[in-house]
Amino acid sequence: MKTGTPVAAKILDGKALAQTIQAEIAAEVAEFVRNGAAPPTLAAVLVGEDPASQVYVRNKQRACERAGIESRMHRLPAETTQDELLQLIGELNDDDSVHGILVQLPLPEQIDEQQVLRAISPRKDVDAFHPENVGLMMQGQPRFLPCTPHGIQQLLVRSGIEIAGKHVVIIGRSDIVGKPMAVMMMQKSKGANATVTVCHSRTENLPEMAQTADILIVAIGRAKFVTADMVRPGATVIDVGMNRTDEGLSGDVDFEAVREVAGHITPVPGGVGPLTVSMLLYNTLEAARQQVGKRG
């Protein structure tokens, strides 16, 4: 090959890795049940008819079934009140046969999301959104890791991408992805020890910041926001975006252009999304194990 010829990035196949991880979890669930425990059980709560949320929850349920995890669906109408939702969460908290509770976000506007997330028992909080679990993770003592950042970390580690000492630039500061991702990447622990920069909608010189990344993680929710000139040649680019556009589903990265520059890149779909589901299954098994341990 001539020097200077651009080499297209290696595709990080999140879908394939998600299947591998789900097979590992299925084997562990089978052993857990063989040892006399009840099957790990997830209660999923969906309020309203948001089409994207319906797809996400259905994918989560199917994955549970494939792994031997019981999933119980609670569908509530869009007009559900805060009190009605809190009542259901209270019942699920008190039900010893439920190990994990997931309330799909976003919630309708009459409902206070933060109050709902705080109402979920921290021991059943398989999304790791409760302040107690956020705090434990922040201090490097996680009870559960949040699913999307954990999936990204697994993808990097299992793809052999060096993280320690590298510059990870995260674009986006959400509670679900950007903030916890930053904390996890900077921890003094395996699969971490990175130097982290978080950029967001108010960052000055964002393209210049992005260009300094060894690993660029993009979760800003704008279709094709990251263009090829924002990526250092050879960098790893992780696209968390799921934007519905007139041309169909698009990530936050201009995939076709950026793949000519990056060393590794995730596709959308088939990148980060399936790994989020795998790590939810992981947390549900972990919750069941912790609850058996508590009672035994």
Among 26, 86, 105, 292, binds ligand GUN (CB under 6 A): 105
d(CA 154, CA 293): 26
Residue 252 binds to ligand GUN (criterion: CB under 6 A):
no
Q: Which of 22, 61, 125, 127 is catalytic?
A: 127
d(CA 200, CA 211): 15
Q: Is the CB of 80 or the CB of 258 nearer to ligand GUN?
A: 80
CB of 117 to ligand GUN, least distance (A): 9
Asked about 60 being catalytic, the answer comes back as: yes
CB of 263 to ligand GUN, least distance (A): 27
CB of 266 to ligand GUN, least distance (A): 16
Q: Give how far Cα 169 sits from Cα of 15, 172, 173, Å.
A: 24, 10, 11
Residue 86 binds to ligand GUN (criterion: CB under 6 A):
no
Residue 127 binds to ligand GUN (criterion: CB under 6 A):
yes
8 A C-beta contact, residue 116 and residue 125: no
Residue nearest ligand GUN, Cβ-based: 105
Q: Which of 22, 60, 125, 239 is catalytic?
A: 60
Residue 174 binds to ligand GUN (criterion: CB under 6 A):
no
Number of helices (H) and strands (E), helices first, in the chain? 10, 11
Residue 176 binds to ligand GUN (criterion: CB under 6 A):
yes
Residues between 142 and 171 that touch ligand GUN (CB under 6 A): 147-148
d(CA 101, CA 86): 12
Instruction: List the one residue out of 119, 138, 210 whose CA is nearest residue 181.
Output: 138
The token pair at 95 is 């039900």
Residue 71 binds to ligand GUN (criterion: CB under 6 A):
no
Residue 61 binds to ligand GUN (criterion: CB under 6 A):
no
Asked about 104 being catalytic, the answer comes back as: yes
Among 18, 102, 194, 237, binds ligand GUN (CB under 6 A): 102
d(CA 202, CA 28): 44
Contacts of 105 (CB under 8 A, 6+ apart): 53, 113, 176
8 A C-beta contact, residue 168 and residue 185: yes
Give, as one character, the DSSP assignment of residue 253. Answer: B
CB-neighbour burial class of residue 270 (10 A; exposed 0-12, middle 13-18, buried 19+): middle
Please identify, among the stretches 74-82, 101-109, 199-207, 215-223, the one whose residues bind ligand GUN according to the rule CB under 6 A: 101-109
Q: Which residues are catalytic?
A: 60, 104, 127
Residues that bind ligand GUN (CB under 6 A): 102-105, 127, 147-148, 176, 276
